[in-house]
């Protein structure tokens, strides 16, 4: 006997460690910035305060409940209020937040990104920017929830960073990476001039095409 108690929520823990490494490898993480969480029923497994996302430790991950009570592991991220606010008001199964450089730059200049590419549809529409509030504050959580209204799956956080939700952490990370790509596109297009923006009708056509594409991928019954 090793004397060690098996860790609870093993799949959520593995997903957090993998996601932290992945986001760091893709260049979306600097130092100890950013935090991630996974919801498992009425429990949330979250990254600890001050932990570098590229080297998370399974046994140090924090478990809290939906009231924010710390149940086990290291002290959770200072952004617990943000994660709780999003879980309380959406059906998200996971949340990813980082200070990805280009997303953070665009967050300083833009209230709602113009739709330069139909891929905004994969984020539920053109991402909005949550108004600035101090990190870790309940106000920041409220403003992120406001920016995610009407089914948005990702948002910028003014002068701070970006955040994405998903059914699981892999999907939240996919969306966070897509948002960073859209921000790179935004910067590059504005550097070249005044970019053309997709109209509502063009976006509606693209949404229709996505729906047809998904239907073709579904196996026939």
Which of 57, 79, 177, 184 is flagged as catalytic?
79
> Which residue number places its CB atom closest to Zn ion?
161
State in angstroms the smallest separation of the CB of 36 from Zn ion. 11
Question: Which residue, 126 or 140, is less far from Zn ion as judged by CB?
Answer: 140
Q: Which is nearer to Zn ion, 59 or 68 (CB)?
A: 68
Q: Which is nearer to Zn ion, 81 or 161 (CB)?
A: 161
Give the binding site for Zn ion (CB under 5 A). 161
Minimum distance from CB of 166 to Zn ion (Å)? 18
Q: What is the CA radius of gyration of the chain?
A: 18
Report d(CA 36, CA 83) in Å as an integer: 9
Q: Which two tokens stand for residue 141?
A: 């959580």
Check: CB of residue 14 under 8 Å from CB of residue 35: no
Phi, psi of 157 (to 5 degrees): -120, 115
14 is catalytic: no
CB of 196 to Zn ion, least distance (A): 33
CB of 33 to Zn ion, least distance (A): 6
Nearer to Zn ion (CB atom), residue 110 or residue 206? 110
Active site positions, annotated: 79
């Amino acid at each position: 006997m090793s004397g060690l108690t098996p860790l609870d929520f093993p799949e959520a823990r593995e997903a957090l460690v993998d996601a932290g490494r992945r986001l760091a490898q893709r260049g979306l993480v600097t130092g100890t910035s950013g935090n991630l969480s996974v919801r498992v029923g009425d429990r949330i497994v979250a990254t600890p305060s001050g932990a570098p996302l590229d080297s998370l430790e399974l046994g140090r991950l924090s478990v809290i409940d939906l009231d924010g009570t710390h149940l086990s592991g290291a002290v959770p991220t200072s952004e617990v209020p943000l994660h709780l606010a999003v879980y309380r008001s959406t059906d998200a199964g996971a949340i990813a937040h980082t200070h990805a450089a280009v997303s953070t730059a665009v967050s300083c200049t833009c209230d709602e990104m113009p739709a330069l590419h139909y891929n905004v549809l994969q984020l539920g529409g053109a991402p909005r920017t949550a108004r600035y509030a101090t990190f870790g504050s309940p106000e920041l959580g409220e403003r992120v929830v406001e920016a995610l209204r009407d089914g948005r799956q990702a948002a910028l956080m003014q002068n701070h960073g970006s955040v994405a939700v998903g059914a699981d952490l892999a999907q939240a990370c996919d969306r966070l990476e897509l948002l960073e790509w859209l921000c790179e596109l935004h910067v590059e297009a504005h550097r070249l001039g005044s970019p053309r923006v997709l109209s509502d009708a063009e976006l509606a056509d693209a949404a229709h095409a996505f729906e047809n594409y998904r239907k073709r991928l579904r196996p026939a019954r």
